[in-house]
Amino acid sequence: MQPAVKRLIFYILLFTVWQAAVMAFDVSPSLLPAPTDVFVSLYEGFSNKTLVYDLVASFRRLFVGLAIALILGLLIGIFLAKSNTADETLGSLILALQAVPSIVWLPLAIMWFGLNEMAVTFIVVLGATMVMTINIRTGIKNVPPLFIKAARTMNYHGFRLFWKVTFPAAIPHAVTGTRLAWAFAWRALMAGELLSTGPGLGYSLKFASDFGDMSRVIAIMLIIMLIGIMVDLLLFQRVEKNVLKKWGLETQ
């Protein structure tokens, strides 16, 4: 049986049990709505374009923040890999900052930027930059010395050596870093939007929660999970697998 079929059967059973449990125990919709209520809320949200506007706003913030994070992560990662002093000093700070959840930065972001787009973008950038930096740094540091020695015998030095040998050899780590940066950025975005004042999935989730609309809350949670799974499975996992095959790091 194909994995996709197994997943489909699993989720059908899950929603069936969920529906049956809510009906059997007469659970209040304010505590746990039935799947049918959630799907109705989803339909209404897309029919009146509310969720469409939320998705557009969230993805706009995500693309801006993730693009900045990938560029910063790439540059800082290269800097750490090429400078032992920076790696031993700034590198330790990067590792420490990675351990701090993005939502912890919310109070500072609000104080520095206010409740606006800049605060949310700041949270997204912080959420993704550290993991990209660490992966780039690790990829460059782990380039086999034999590659470097062989390139130098062919008169590759300086920037030419880095651009033609070192960086291409670190591409698998860069792809993995991009995949992880997307995941961290997506979670950071939802955390940041909880305190935003404009359209967005996180803002709509908080708004629905404040008014006790649990059907809309779970509907938005399902959208967030579905987007995360789809982007990871359909895009990043495939790209990562192809890169690993091309670089000879995966046999299947």
Is there a single domain that holds both residue 61 and residue 178?
yes
User: Is it the case that residue 2 has pLDDT exceeding 90?
Assistant: no
Is there a single domain that holds both residue 104 and residue 154?
yes
Structural domain includes residue 206: yes
Is there a single domain that holds both residue 155 and residue 224?
yes
CB 165 within 8 Å of CB 148: yes
Give the global pTM.
0.88
Is there a single domain that holds both residue 13 and residue 97?
no
Residue 250 is predicted with a pLDDT of 63
Is there a single domain that holds both residue 190 and residue 69?
yes
Q: How confident is the model at residue 175 (pLDDT cuts 50, 70, 90)?
A: very high
- Per residue in 128-159, pLDDT (tens digit) is 999 999 999 999 999 988 888 888 888 888 88
- Per residue in 118-131, pLDDT (tens digit) is 889 999 999 899 99
Structural domain includes residue 119: yes
Structural domain includes residue 149: yes
Structural domain includes residue 252: no
User: Is it the case that residue 251 has pLDDT exceeding 60?
Assistant: no
Using only the alpha carbons of the chain, give its radius of gyration. 22
**Sign, CA torsion 67/73/74/76:** positive
Mean pLDDT of the chain: 90
Structural domain includes residue 251: no
Structural domain includes residue 89: yes
Is there a single domain that holds both residue 172 and residue 47?
yes
Domain count, the chain: 2
Residue 92 is predicted with a pLDDT of 93
Domain that holds residue 96: 33-246
Is there a single domain that holds both residue 185 and residue 160?
yes
CATH number of the domain bearing residue 170:
1.10.3720.10
87 vs 126: CA distance, rounded Å:
19
Residue 196 is predicted with a pLDDT of 76
Is there a single domain that holds both residue 11 and residue 46?
no
Query: Which of residues 106 and 66 earns the better pLDDT score?
Result: 66
User: Is it the case that residue 9 has pLDDT exceeding 90?
Assistant: yes
DSSP output for 164-230: IIIHHHTHHHHHHHHHHHHHHHHHHHHHHHTT-SSSSHHHHHHHHHHTT-HHHHHHHHHHHHHHHHH
Is there a single domain that holds both residue 90 and residue 122?
yes
144 vs 67: CA distance, rounded Å:
29
Q: How confident is the model at residue 37 (pLDDT cuts 50, 70, 90)?
A: very high
Burial of 189 (0-12, 13-18, 19+ CB in 10 A): buried
Is there a single domain that holds both residue 42 and residue 9?
no
Structural domain includes residue 161: yes
Is there a single domain that holds both residue 20 and residue 61?
no
- Per residue in 188-217, pLDDT (tens digit) is 999 888 877 778 999 999 999 989 899 999
Is there a single domain that holds both residue 227 and residue 181?
yes
Structural domain includes residue 145: yes
